[in-house]
Amino acid sequence: MTQRAEGPVLWLDDIGSDDLGAVGGKGASLGEMTGAGLPVPPGFVVTAGSYRTFIEETGIAEDLFEAVAVDTDDSAALARAEARAEELILGTEMPEEMRQGIVDAYADLDDGNAFVAVRSSATAEDLPDASFAGQQETFLNVQGEALVERIKECWASLFTQRAIYYRGEQGFDDRNVDIAVVVQRMVDADKSGVMFTSHPSTGEPKIIIEAAWGLGEAVVSGSVSPDNYVVDRETGETVETTVAEKKVMMEKDAETGETVEREVPEDKREAVVLDDDEIAKLVELGRRAEEHYDAPQDVEWAIVGDDVYMLQSRPITTISESSAEAATADGGDDEGEVLVRGLGASPGVAAGPVRIVRKLDQLDKVGEGDVIVTEMTTPDMVPAMKRASGIVTDEGGMTSHAAIVSRELGVPAVVGAGTATEALSDGQEITIDGDKGTVVAGLREKEAKTEEEDHADVRPQNPVKPMTATEVKVNVSIPEAAHRAAQTGADGVGLLRMEHMILSTNKTPERYIADHGEEAYVEEIVEGVRGVADEFYPRPVRVRTLDAPTDEFRQLEGGGDEPKEHNPMLGYRGIRRSLDRPDTFAHELEAFRRLFEMGYDNVEVMFPLVNDAEDVIRARNLLEDAGVDPEKRRWGVMIETPASALTVESMCEAGIDFASFGTNDLTQYTLAVDRNNENVADRFDELHPGVLALIGEVIETCREHDVATSICGQAGSKPEMVRFLVNEGVSSISANIDAVRDVQHEVKRVEQKLLLDSVR
């Protein structure tokens, strides 16, 4: 063993299984890969103990914990706590010995000026991989002296308002929470790609490798079609090589460390990326990774000179089969009495005592395993929804808050049950079926899965992530769902809604800014987006600017100032509101600017409810005014109105990179059917020929202009829509978390059929 473990850091290659508490989940997983002999880029972890020593030796610990011991429902107090914690941590010098230890480790890492990634890895005493991880800071492309400051910023991020709030909600003591910081060399790849260690659709012992020039972002984000190699794992023989034309590549700018897109030099465009030697090295790696984890792996790799690196390895995951099982487990003979019926909005069966929630201050009474019964859920309810085993609402349809959030949380839900809050009583034991939409009397334990069985569903089974030419992405509406969403193996986030980040403050944007200031508002958005962008990095995350109708804002503090509208669906929402309130909108755009500045080059900007090129150009200009260069960043629009579909050509000319179908709105505006009105729910048909005609036209026009197309409405999770879109040539499909796996398979089937048809 080396002596390097002394001091404030632990090197990745010295980390063992009992260091989890010292290095946190992220650090431990990189350490495990390193320990297994997998070639992880070198790095070290500034241990949780160092953070402890820092606050204790400098004498700030007591002040710090006192400053953050506030009432978590008091947002002004939370803001003060964050500011004070930041002041204490950033304003206090690191003890010299510690600083020197870190500086020395950094110098050992390379020749002392390596670009490194600096990532927080939070830990708590009884929760080694704290679930609030991902909320703390990450910095990319850090170099030289900035490192020490960045580490302190990671420490300070343990005390953002959001983090304090979460710990309060989840009953964690601030004193018991620690934070480690991973410092790892960034890899400046000559070539990179992904590798599946078993055949992703058949499970055969075949290794599939995709490779392209430059950094992995190009392959992972799908902006270049990579070479494809199929290798027989037993003989090591390459049985199939498909060389693609590679027009662009991602490179690191030598000065700034930022990732930039460049054209591939003529002579490399059609050249084979990997030689036999490199393939052999990758195959060997794949074998070792699969052996070590005892499951097929989806590996991101990079090659610099002669060195092969593994950046990440994760199991090829599968999606919960619970919906299919629940559907077949319907014995039918000893059904309990159906108490109420609604729409099955989030699959699965849950049993527990009823907790009727009428007002927000009743949320405390919702305990672990209870079933929330309420008129309609609101963003403030999310912490309670997480504790609940199931959710039942009186109101709402398949695109309501309750439906979207419970699906993302993986909590079974029945929505639109009409009289649930009247028909059910507090404490009554019930079982709900989120597939059939029923609520029956009694605890039907046999049907409700134990937690262990539930986990068995998401444990990796045989390799099932099929590779598809059409990208399959995932929709995210609450940042808390980012981890689950990333586990699906989706190619990125096709829609990250910003609404929840703002509505969950329980204030309208205007009121929030009035109470806490512009800075806090911007930070609220940055924090919300960053958790997701980090979880998916470098896979792209398409973030949509605010689109909440006035009736949703009306329920919040400050809602009294909202315009009164007869028909909010046709009113002051989406880009209309943003263009009309450029000052408020500028804060959202400032959040994007900061995210880009931090290195989140996987973030994309999407404008909702545009009607024509004029809307698009005005929004684009505001983006530019906010300091984001629309030429350098990917941005685009939602196609949600017939007008936008019919004028998409002029939007292409205005420079959009993508157009994404919001079929929830496109359907309601094409058919004149209110998406929230249960009286006409049977007429809400996303597959109506009128809707499909608009979609087909848009895809064709966009293809002519080299603009990517996508879908991010609910219909993207429906097989019929998937078949239609793939046949029309859509670039990507974004589905609900629980539908990603099925959509991947459906896309694969359609693509294979298209291929077969073309050769027959």
List, as one string, the DSSP characters of 187-233. Answer: P--SEEEEEESS-TTT--SEEEEEEEEB-THHHHTTSSPPEEEEEET
Q: Which does 264 bind (CB under 5 to 8 A by kind): ligand PEP, Mg ion, none?
A: none
Q: Which does 488 bind (CB under 5 to 8 A by kind): Mg ion, ligand PEP, none?
A: none
Residues 6+ apart with CB under 8 A from 693: none
Taking the complex as a whole, the smallest distance from the CB of residue 696 to Mg ion amounts, in Å, to 20
> By C-alpha distance, which of 708, 660, 713 is closest to 686?
713
Residue from 24, 344, 348, 713 touching ligand PEP (CB under 6 A): that is 713
Residue from 29, 120, 141, 399 touching ligand PEP (CB under 6 A): that is 399
Q: Which does 43 bind (CB under 5 to 8 A by kind): ligand PEP, Mg ion, none?
A: none
Q: Quote the CA–CA distance of 236 and 141 in Å, as a whole number.
A: 37
Q: Quote the CA–CA distance of 405 and 485 in Å, as a whole number.
A: 12
Taking the complex as a whole, the smallest distance from the CB of residue 544 to ligand PEP amounts, in Å, to 7
The partner residues of 542 in beta bridges, in order of sequence, read 604
Taking the complex as a whole, the smallest distance from the CB of residue 681 to Mg ion amounts, in Å, to 17
CB 658 within 8 A of CB 710: yes
Please count the residues of this chain forming the interface with ligand PEP, following the rule CB under 6 A: 11
Taking the complex as a whole, the smallest distance from the CB of residue 536 to ligand PEP amounts, in Å, to 18
269, amino acid identity: R
Taking the complex as a whole, the smallest distance from the CB of residue 649 to Mg ion amounts, in Å, to 22
Taking the least distance from each CB to ligand PEP, the nearer of 278 and 562 is 562
Q: Which does 399 bind (CB under 5 to 8 A by kind): Mg ion, ligand PEP, none?
A: ligand PEP
Residue from 502, 702, 712, 726 touching ligand PEP (CB under 6 A): that is 712
The answer to whether 497 contacts ligand PEP (rule: CB under 6 A) is: yes
Taking the least distance from each CB to ligand PEP, the nearer of 460 and 608 is 608
Q: Which does 393 bind (CB under 5 to 8 A by kind): ligand PEP, Mg ion, none?
A: none
Taking the least distance from each CB to ligand PEP, the nearer of 351 and 529 is 529
List, as one string, the DSSP characters of 558-573. Answer: TGGGSPP-S-GGGSS-
Record the tokens describing residue 640, joined without a space.
């949600």
The partner residues of 232 in beta bridges, in order of sequence, read 206
Taking the least distance from each CB to ligand PEP, the nearer of 32 and 547 is 547
The answer to whether 709 contacts ligand PEP (rule: CB under 6 A) is: no
Taking the least distance from each CB to ligand PEP, the nearer of 243 and 681 is 681
Taking the complex as a whole, the smallest distance from the CB of residue 665 to ligand PEP amounts, in Å, to 3
Q: Which does 712 bind (CB under 5 to 8 A by kind): Mg ion, ligand PEP, none?
A: ligand PEP
Q: Which does 197 bind (CB under 5 to 8 A by kind): Mg ion, ligand PEP, none?
A: none
The partner residues of 474 in beta bridges, in order of sequence, read 493, 735
The answer to whether 163 contacts ligand PEP (rule: CB under 6 A) is: no
334, burial (CB in 10 Å: exposed 0-12, middle 13-18, buried 19+): exposed
List the Cα angle 659/660/666 in 5-degree steps. Answer: 115
Taking the complex as a whole, the smallest distance from the CB of residue 461 to ligand PEP amounts, in Å, to 30
The partner residues of 706 in beta bridges, in order of sequence, read none
From residue 447 to residue 486, what is the string marking binding to ligand PEP with x (rule CB under 6 A)? ----------------------------------------
Taking the complex as a whole, the smallest distance from the CB of residue 411 to Mg ion amounts, in Å, to 23
CB 282 within 8 A of CB 235: no
Taking the least distance from each CB to ligand PEP, the nearer of 219 and 495 is 495
Taking the least distance from each CB to ligand PEP, the nearer of 15 and 546 is 546
Q: Quote the CA–CA distance of 609 and 638 in Å, as a whole number.
A: 6
Residue entry with tokens 């003591």: 173
Taking the complex as a whole, the smallest distance from the CB of residue 664 to Mg ion amounts, in Å, to 5
Taking the least distance from each CB to ligand PEP, the nearer of 190 and 551 is 551
Task: Report 620-679 residues binding ligand PEP (CB under 6 A).
Answer: 640, 662-665
Q: Which does 495 bind (CB under 5 to 8 A by kind): Mg ion, ligand PEP, none?
A: ligand PEP
459, burial (CB in 10 Å: exposed 0-12, middle 13-18, buried 19+): exposed
Residues 6+ apart with CB under 8 A from 173: 167
Q: Quote the CA–CA distance of 291 and 359 in Å, as a whole number.
A: 52
Taking the complex as a whole, the smallest distance from the CB of residue 663 to ligand PEP amounts, in Å, to 5
> By C-alpha distance, which of 277, 275, 263, 268 is closest to 244?
268
Torsion angle, CA of 212/215/217/220, rounded to 10 degrees?
40
6, burial (CB in 10 Å: exposed 0-12, middle 13-18, buried 19+): exposed
Taking the least distance from each CB to ligand PEP, the nearer of 278 and 640 is 640
Task: Report 547-586 residues binding ligand PEP (CB under 6 A).
Answer: 547
Residues 6+ apart with CB under 8 A from 331: none
How many C-alpha atoms does 527 have within 13 Å on its Cβ side? 23
Task: Report 330-369 residues binding ligand PEP (CB under 6 A).
Answer: none
List the Cα angle 659/660/661 in 5-degree steps. Answer: 125
Q: CA separation (Å) from 181 to 45, 60, 148, 161, 483?
A: 5, 20, 11, 20, 19
Residues 6+ apart with CB under 8 A from 469: 225, 751
Other C-beta atoms closer than 10 Å to the C-beta of 724 total: 20
Taking the least distance from each CB to ligand PEP, the nearer of 157 and 668 is 668
Taking the complex as a whole, the smallest distance from the CB of residue 671 to ligand PEP amounts, in Å, to 13
Residues binding Mg ion (CB under 5 A): 640, 662, 665
Taking the complex as a whole, the smallest distance from the CB of residue 407 to Mg ion amounts, in Å, to 17
Taking the least distance from each CB to ligand PEP, the nearer of 420 and 605 is 605
CB 490 within 8 A of CB 472: yes
Q: Which does 497 bind (CB under 5 to 8 A by kind): ligand PEP, Mg ion, none?
A: ligand PEP
Residue from 48, 224, 440, 495 touching ligand PEP (CB under 6 A): that is 495
Taking the least distance from each CB to ligand PEP, the nearer of 8 and 713 is 713
Residues annotated catalytic, as ranges: 401, 712
Taking the least distance from each CB to ligand PEP, the nearer of 395 and 433 is 395
Residue entry with tokens 């959509």: 743
The three-class DSSP label of residue 447 is: coil
b/e code 345-384 from CB counts within 10 Å (16+ = b): bbbbbbbbebbbbeeeeebeebeeebbbbbeebbbbbbbb
Q: Which does 185 bind (CB under 5 to 8 A by kind): Mg ion, ligand PEP, none?
A: none
Q: Which does 135 bind (CB under 5 to 8 A by kind): ligand PEP, Mg ion, none?
A: none
Q: Which does 663 bind (CB under 5 to 8 A by kind): Mg ion, ligand PEP, none?
A: ligand PEP
Record the tokens describing residue 749, joined without a space.
């089937």
CB 202 within 8 A of CB 416: no
Taking the complex as a whole, the smallest distance from the CB of residue 707 to Mg ion amounts, in Å, to 19
Q: Which does 615 bind (CB under 5 to 8 A by kind): Mg ion, ligand PEP, none?
A: none
What radius of gyration, in Å, describes the C-alpha atoms of the chain?
A: 26
In the complex, the residues that contact ligand PEP under the rule CB under 6 A are 399, 495, 497, 547, 640, 662-665, 712-713
